[in-house]
Structure 1
Amino acid sequence: MDTPPGQCPQCWRHAYDPSIHRKLKPREDCGPCVDHMKNGCPYIVPKQKSSWF
């Protein structure tokens, strides 16, 4: 699954690939997801080109 333009690869993969979180126990947090929520995305995400101007 390719990451769409303008999306963080890690955020996209963790949101749409259920196998990543399958190993977690009930109510257990995913370390990389928690880090993203606290510190933001570590990737410089290119913005999508705006087509209206």
Structure 2
Amino acid sequence: MPGKDTPPGECPQCWQHAHDRRAHRHLRPREDCPQCVEHLRNGCPYIVPKQKTRRR
């Protein structure tokens, strides 16, 4: 599913499902997305890299 690049520190699946309408268009009205429900129950399966901080 093409879309914007995931920013550092964000889960790629969570980001795409939150910002790309195509992720949920196959669902009926008021139907839950199985991938999102699994994320809510089990947490994010990705090791998310944090953005490097710059020190002056």
Q: What TM-score does the superposition give when structure 2 sets the normalisation length? A: 0.83
Is it true that 1:3 corresponds to 2:24 in the alignment?
no
User: Which ranges of structure 2 fall in alignment gaps of 5 or more residues?
Assistant: none
Task: Calculate the aligned-residue CA RMSD, in Å.
Answer: 1.5
Residue 48 of structure 1 corresponds to 51
Flag the structure with more relative contact order, 1 or 2, with Cα contacts below 8 A and sequence separation at least 6.
1
- Name the TM-score, length of structure 1 as normaliser: 0.87
Unpaired runs of 5+ residues, structure 1, are none
Task: Give aligned pairs, total.
Answer: 53
Runs of 4+, deviation exceeding 2 Å: 48-53
